[in-house]
Each structure stands twice: as structure tokens, then as C-alpha cells.
Amino acid sequence: METNNSYKNGALFTAMVAAECTIVGENIIFKLATSKGMSYFVFVFYSYAATTLVLLLLFPFIFRSNTASLPLFKFPVISRICFLSLVGSFFRILGYTGIAYSSPTLASMIGNLTPGFTFILAIIFRMENLALSSLSTWAKIIGTLVSVSGAMLVVLYKGPTIMSTASIPAQSLHWTPQSTRSRWVIGGLLLLISNLLISVWYIIQTQTMKLYPAEFVVTLLYCLFATIISAPICFVGESNLSAWRLKPDIELASIVYSAFFGLSFITVVHTFGLRMKGPVYTAIFKPLSIAIAAITSFIFLSEALHLGSVIGGVITCVGFYTVLWGKANDEAGKNKDSCKIPLLQSP
């Protein structure tokens, strides 16, 4: 039993790390697509539609003979999935708008707020205990505040360039340079709201999985409903019909990547993590995207590394790992208590 649990924990950990790499890759390819003129409204709608199609094609292979074992749908499940799709549509639109205004690296930096937001929401919805007399509780509170301060520093202070790629000129990528402070701040604020909605999504998804513990089915319905919900929003946001014709280049590649490796894989992994470990565990992997995004953006996007991003990233990571330390202490205390119960009950 312990070996089986260790295998599951190791597989989940590996999948969560792979999901963070996939998220950064999706942000990078999205940035390249928008640099060629692709609208982020077009990207969001087509990615949801393509992912739904991929999951529908995979459904018969995954549930060949055990579809009868799936739980019956009830109104609380359907309503939660609909609300989940609404929140998901908005956080993707706001998130990709923020990336278009700023950069994938900034998106990864701001993503470090997700553990703090998730922890606060988990307390509100009684998924986490808050004992002010506990050292681990204060570690989580202080760590959350430090993470917020670090992320705000990244948004409001860009700072001098400390590293750049001279061999790949930024003009060769054909996107609008991030030359104004206002675009950087607007992008950062949009990303802040997007990550708050991601935390809300984690909470709703965790509650949904308690009612309907079937990751693939929930992911399929989520993408289907999100496609329907995002359609009018995206068509109003991008009314130019010519923008909806995908070019057979990086634009089409970004949709294919999102359908096969982005939305489908990421959502299934996160949903599985939420059911197995809860929202806080799923959110704590966000800081991994800092190093991944910084390296990939530096190599592939010729994006300079600024002092504000480095200082803010370090502060955010310190706050995050403080929260993680408090969370680990809580789990260790619960394990000790559970081990003592059989001894007390024994004659």
C-alpha cells in the first residue's frame, strides 16, 4: 500500500511539473502568434473548441467498456461545471490579454500569487484550518503577504536590463515593443485578476470533484461549456471576420499545441491533483514557472531580463516557500495525530 501511494505521489508530482512546463510553452507560442497579428480572442475560442474536439475523439478510447460506471449527472454538478467554465473563460481571456500587453515572464512571476490567493480562499471555504496560535499558520500568512509584495514589485518596477540576447534582434520577431510603462502595468494588473480567478477555479473544481470524481469527463464538459460561453465574448471582442481565418504558420501551431498539450493535458492534470491533494497543493507548483519562463523567453523571444523581475521574483519565491513550509508543518502535525489514535484506542 505504501509503495502504491509513493508511486502515485511521484507520478502526480512529475505530472504537475510537466504541466507547468506546458503552461510556459503555451504562453511562449501564444506570444509568438500574437506577434504575427493573431488576436487573443481568436486564440481563446479556437483553443477551447479544438480541445473539446480532441477530448471527444479520445473519449471512446478512454471509456471503452466502463461508461456505465460513471456517476449520474445531477444539477449541482452541472451548475458547478457551468460556473467553472465561466470563470475559466474569463481568466484565460484576461491572462492572454495581459501576456499580449507584457510578457510570458511577467505572467509566470505574477503566477506566484496563485498559491497565496488559493490559501486565502481555502480558509474562507474551510478547506484549510486557521489557528492563530500555530507557528505554521503565521508562516502561511506572512508568506502570502511577502508573495504579494514581490509580485507587485515586478509589476510596478521594471528596472535596468541586467541580461539581454544580442544575437537575436528583438525587431526580427515583429511584435510591438514593450516600450511604455503603462502597457507593462496594465498587463500586470490583468494578470493579477487572472490569477485570482485561477484560484477561484481551483476551489470550484475541488468541490466539483467531490461530487463527480471523473477527471476526464469533467474536463470534457468544462471545455465544451467554455467554448459555448466564450464564443459571444470573443466574437464581440474581435469583430473583424478576417482575423478569424487562421494562417498555416505559428497561428495554427499555437491552436494545435493548446489542444493537444495545453488545455487538455493541463486541465486533466490539475483536476487530478485537486481531487487527490486539494487546491493548495496544486497551486504551490506555480513558482516553478519563473525559471522556466525566464530561460525560454530569453532564448526564444529575445526578451531582456530586468532587475525588477529578478528582485521581485526572489521576494515572491521567499514568501511562497514560507507558505509551503507552513503547509508542510500542518500536514506533519495531522500525520502525528493520526498515528496516535490507534495507540490510544488499544487496550
Angle formed at CA 251 by CA 249 and CA 256, multiple of 5 degrees: 95
More confident residue, 56 or 289: 56
∠ CA 84-89-91, rounded to 5°: 95
Q: Tell me the C-alpha to C-alpha distance, in Å, between residue 331 and each of 58, 137, 156, 182, 276.
A: 37, 12, 36, 43, 14
In whole angstroms, give the CA distance from residue 110 to residue 63: 38
* Residue 142 in this model has a pLDDT that exceeds 90: no
Least confident of 120-124, 210-214, 318-322: 318-322
Domain map of the chain by residue range?
Answer: 2-64+72-345
- Dihedral-angle region of residue 244 (phi above 0 means left; psi in -120 to 50 means alpha; beta otherwise): alpha
Cβ atoms of residues 98 and 176 within 8 Å: no
Task: Give residue 167's pLDDT band: very low, low, confident or very high (50, 70, 90).
Answer: very low
**Measured in whole angstroms, how far is the alpha carbon of residue 247 from the centre of its chain?**
27
Average pLDDT value over all residues in the chain: 79
pLDDT in tens, 283-318: 877 776 766 776 666 666 666 667 777 787 788 778
pLDDT over 70 for what percent of the chain?
75
| pLDDT (tens digit per residue) in 335-346 | 665 555 454 444
How far is 296 from 194, CA to CA, in rounded Å?
22
The pLDDT of residue 255 is 94
Q: State pLDDT tens for residues 74-103.
A: 888 899 999 999 999 999 999 988 888 887
Candidates 212, 272, 224; CA nearest to 75 is: 212
Supply the pLDDT for residue 34.
Answer: 84
Q: Count the neighbouring beta carbons within 10 Å of the beta carbon of residue 179.
A: 7
Which pTM was predicted?
A: 0.77
**pLDDT tens for each residue of 269-286:** 999 888 887 887 788 777
Query: What per-residue confidence (pLDDT) applies to 205?
Result: 92
CB of 70 closer than 8 Å to CB of 214: yes
Percentage of residues in the chain having pLDDT higher than 90 = 24
